[in-house]
Amino acid sequence: MRIYPLVFKHVFTKMDPEQAHHFAFNAIKIAQRAGLTKVARKFFAPAPKLNRTVMGIDFPSPFGLAAGFDKGATGILALSDIGFGHVEIGTVTGQAQPGNPQPRLFRLVDDRAVINRMGFNNEGAERVAARVAGARQELKSDYAGTRPVIGVNIGKTKVVELEDAVADYLSSTRQLAIHADYLVVNVSSPNTPGLRLLQSVDSLRPLLSEVGQLADKVAGRHIPLLVKIAPDLSDEDVADVARLAIELELDGIIATNTTIGRENLNSDAAKVEEIGAGGLSGAPLKQRSLEVLRQLRSLVPAEMALISVGGVENATDVKERLDAGADLVQGYTAFLYEGPFWARSINKDLERML
């Protein structure tokens, strides 16, 4: 019998979702600090069969944790220990900010989905950078073989005007790039006013170009650079982003972020309307995320990495994304529903499938 679903049903569903997230995440971090996850690492670790090289980086598994779960880089070691092949932290902004007013995280249990309007709540690039640096050093010393990978996802500070967005992203890049295994420019969250306007090619070109140049300069090495896009882009806009990625020789694209759509949900429509604005993630996003992945794979060269995220719940979903052309796959929302053994379960099932 699986214990976590019972805990989720009888304990976490009775708590505010954001409070439940902090409670569960803190429990994992406490276990790590007590040495428990390190002792159990062999139980959780992906099999060598799952190792793969993407963007010149060795990943212990194609499956990792999407940005949003660990915004402040406080649990990289713990999350690595429980089986994620990579942990993408953030979104981190140039300046610390509290995010949007609470409540700002809502469950749609009947849809295995979540609506969030967190608003990039984080402690700012300077403080987060120190944690990423420390975690990267510990991973290097702790893992004899292929170590888990750290991705860093950066976004725009809310109070910064759009015309100053490039400088804001560069501020984060200057502090974080040297510690990242790869860097992601997030222009697709629906929870920062105006942010998605940066997905237009004319806005993206200077942003990605300048971030990429600065990242390599401050790190003294090439930092793989990716852009994360929304599922709500039209197919024409997706194609425009693909062409720009080729033009700028980006290392990859992450598809997709949360959606502002509310179509075909099982949850009570009145409840969904009462929740209001925010990005929807989880199972309802599965089909569109897969469609965008397939479109991108048909447009970009094989050497350009595609990371697929959105509606990934199990190893079957992961394999479907890999078969559709993804180089790596990420999950997040199902982690809230499945619990701390989720990554291990996916890795074990993937090992059998592959």
- Peptide bond preceding 316 in cis form (omega within 30 of 0): no
> Among 330, 337, 343, which residue's Cα sits nearest to residue 111?
337
Q: Enumerate the known binding-site residues for substrate.
A: 71, 116-120, 186, 191, 257-258
- Decide if 189 is catalytic: yes
* Stretch 109-126: mean pLDDT: 98
**pLDDT tens-digit map of 305-321:** 999 999 999 999 999 99
Residue set of the binding site:
67-71, 91, 116-120, 153, 186, 191, 228, 256-258, 282, 311, 332-333
Bridge partners of 134, per DSSP, are none
Strand segments, DSSP code E, in 31-103 are 52-54, 57-59, 63-65, 86-92
CA gap 238, 219 in Å, rounded = 30
Q: Whole domain around residue 23: which residue ranges?
A: 4-353
| Band of residue 14 on the pLDDT scale cut at 50, 70, 90 | very high
Q: pLDDT tens, 245-283?
A: 999 999 999 999 999 999 999 999 999 999 999 999 999
Given a cut of 70, whether residue 99 has pLDDT beyond it is: yes
> Of 61, 80, 172, 189, which one is the catalytic site residue?
189
Rounded (to 5) percent helix, strand, coil in the chain = 50, 15, 35
Residue 317 — left, alpha, or beta (φ > 0 → left; ψ -120 to 50 → alpha)? alpha
Parallel, antiparallel, or unpaired for β 57-59 and 52-54?
antiparallel
CA distance 203 to 44: 42
Q: How do residues 163-187 score in pLDDT, each as one tens digit? A: 999 999 999 999 999 999 999 999 9
What total of structural domains would you count in the chain? 1
What is the reported pLDDT for 126?
98
Q: What is the CATH number of the domain that holds 172?
A: 3.20.20.70
Identify the residue whose tokens are 């997709």.
Answer: 256
- Better-predicted residue by pLDDT, 289 or 42: 289
